[in-house]
Amino acid sequence: MKNILYIFSFFALVLTTSCTKDFEDINTNPNAPNTVQPSLLLRQVIYDFGEQMSYEGFVAGDLLSQHRTALDFNLFDRHALKSPQLGGNPWPVFYTNLRDNEIILNQSRSINTFAVYEGPALILKAYMASGLTDLFGDVPYFEAFNGSLGNVTPAYNSQESIYMDDNGILDNLDKGISAIENYSQSIALEGDILFNGDLDAWLKFANALKIKALLRISDKVDVSAQLQAIVTEGNYISTNAENAIFNFTNTDPNSFRLAQLRIGDFNNFVLSETMENILLELNDNRINTFFKPFANSTTSQFNGLINGIDASSTSIALSDYSLAGSAFREDTSVLDANFITSWEIHFALAEAAQKGLITANAQDLYETGVIQAFEYWQTEMPVNYLNGNAAFNAIDTTPLEQIITQKWIANIINGYEGWVEYRRTGFPEFNAISASLNNNLIPVRMPYPAEEEALNAEHYQQAASATNSNSINFPVWWDEN
């Protein structure tokens, strides 16, 4: 009887073990894998972030930077930034892609065959983190991006620590560079729609991002030695052929999103009076690329509208104002999702040279940046452009204002860069908003979104208290202007 019980127990154990062993396989959907190859994730992160921030750049960033203005649904244009409408909520774009990028980073460090992804993942983390903190200031960072591991209410970190501390922006750029330089395997980087797997190009990208990050914090930290070391080495993006971009197509699903939406959404955005005045003052023919002559014009003229009208009390005829150019809807194959470019870096280095942070010829760097910016936007530069009002030493302006203004012009739809640079430098001069909902002040940060107050209440309250009740007029750490 005892032996019979042992035999019965043995078969029961085998049956139970077998059922338990096979349980996960039986109950796992083979068409919904719970792990994703880093090549697929890398492609997804680059495309999703680039596509979404290009859209955000058009419908929200360009309003804050006064490249264009909105006719209706324009609370954001009137600086009610806590009331996003057609755009104006980039928070989930950053956190979704930073989370997915963290998966790539963790895979690269735990699976030897994926080691090639470590450098690019660190560089992308630094890139997206800088964009996030430049917009919002203090944000969840060191405890964030790993919600699946249990921490869904991460603490907020100071912008200074996000830039300066271990595993922060500058440190991750350095670690990303080291990871690539020390990579010795022969497994290729796949899913890379920025550089087609070229690791040397990723090194130039990282150094370009370091130039940008160091200049951004240069009013708070002495960065001259670090900048000079990068310039001396010379291994950064320096031609348009090396730009960190990917091209949109002319057909769905990879065309620029404004080409896919109804015409009414597209026609809601017209040339800003600020942009019009600056381009016409400079005799800048990129106005023909960025915008169209207004429909009622009899001489192919352009007409801009002051930002932030009260649409409920102001009657506007669309045919009296200039719409966006064909690159933004009819032929988006000529449009890029722009992570960073050679012209942006030349303008950054021109500023650094003008301020004495590096030893270089500021005028040469500026003029190269202008030439490359025209080339990037596929517009022929007028022969005497750099000898007229756009000259480095033009009268009634300063070289620094010229540098930042040219960077601002070329950064149209590039996320929120034009507004960030205005906050950092005060250039170019913006016009007053027509019907401001922010006491006629230009905002200096994005507000934390409402969902943070609901989902991360304790840490949100601390961050809101540190920013005068989540005020859009409370400057971020690097902002000395």
What does the pLDDT read at residue 8?
Answer: 36
SS3 state of residue 433:
coil
Q: At residue 375, does pLDDT exceed 90?
A: yes
pLDDT band of residue 150 (cuts 50, 70, 90) is: low
Mean pLDDT value of segment 138-151: 84
What does the pLDDT read at residue 39?
Answer: 97
- Phi and psi at residue 338, to the nearest 5°: -105, 110
What does the pLDDT read at residue 397?
Answer: 97
Q: Which two tokens stand for residue 185?
A: 């395997």
Mean pLDDT value of segment 185-198: 97
What does the pLDDT read at residue 35?
Answer: 72
pLDDT tens-digit readout, 279-300 = 999 999 999 999 999 999 999 9
What does the pLDDT read at residue 151?
Answer: 79
Cα radius of gyration rounded to whole Å, the chain: 25
Asked if 337 and 51 count as a contact pair (C-beta separation under 8 A), the reply is yes
What does the pLDDT read at residue 24?
Answer: 40
pLDDT tens-digit readout, 432-464 = 999 999 999 999 999 999 999 999 999 999 999
pLDDT band of residue 147 (cuts 50, 70, 90) is: low
SS3 state of residue 1:
coil
Displacement of CA 135 from its chain's centroid (Å): 10
pTM: 0.92
pLDDT band of residue 10 (cuts 50, 70, 90) is: very low
Maximum Cα interatomic distance, the chain, rounded to a whole number of Å:
108
pLDDT tens-digit readout, 299-319 = 999 999 999 999 888 889 999
The single-letter code of the amino acid at 259 is A
Asked if 403 and 390 count as a contact pair (C-beta separation under 8 A), the reply is no
Mean pLDDT value of segment 174-192: 97
Q: At residue 91, does pLDDT exceed 80?
A: yes
Q: In percent, how much of the chain has pLDDT > 90?
A: 89
Q: At residue 23, does pLDDT exceed 50?
A: no
Asked if 69 and 307 count as a contact pair (C-beta separation under 8 A), the reply is yes
The single-letter code of the amino acid at 336 is D
Cis peptide before 428 (omega within 30 of 0): yes
What does the pLDDT read at residue 14?
Answer: 40
pLDDT tens-digit readout, 378-409 = 999 999 999 999 999 999 999 999 999 999 99
What does the pLDDT read at residue 315?
Answer: 86
Mean pLDDT value of segment 401-421: 97
Q: At residue 159, does pLDDT exceed 50?
A: yes
Averaged pLDDT of the chain? 92
Mean pLDDT value of segment 36-57: 97
pLDDT tens-digit readout, 206-244 = 999 999 999 999 999 999 999 999 999 999 999 999 999
- Phi and psi at residue 331, to the nearest 5°: -140, 75
Mean pLDDT value of segment 318-335: 96
Kind and range of the H or E element at 245?
Answer: strand 244-247
What does the pLDDT read at residue 17?
Answer: 42
What does the pLDDT read at residue 154?
Answer: 96
Q: At residue 2, does pLDDT exceed 60?
A: no
Mean pLDDT value of segment 106-115: 97
Q: At residue 13, does pLDDT exceed 90?
A: no
Comparing CA positions, the residue from 435, 168, 410, 407 lying closest to residue 309 is 435
What does the pLDDT read at residue 32?
Answer: 43
pLDDT band of residue 148 (cuts 50, 70, 90) is: low
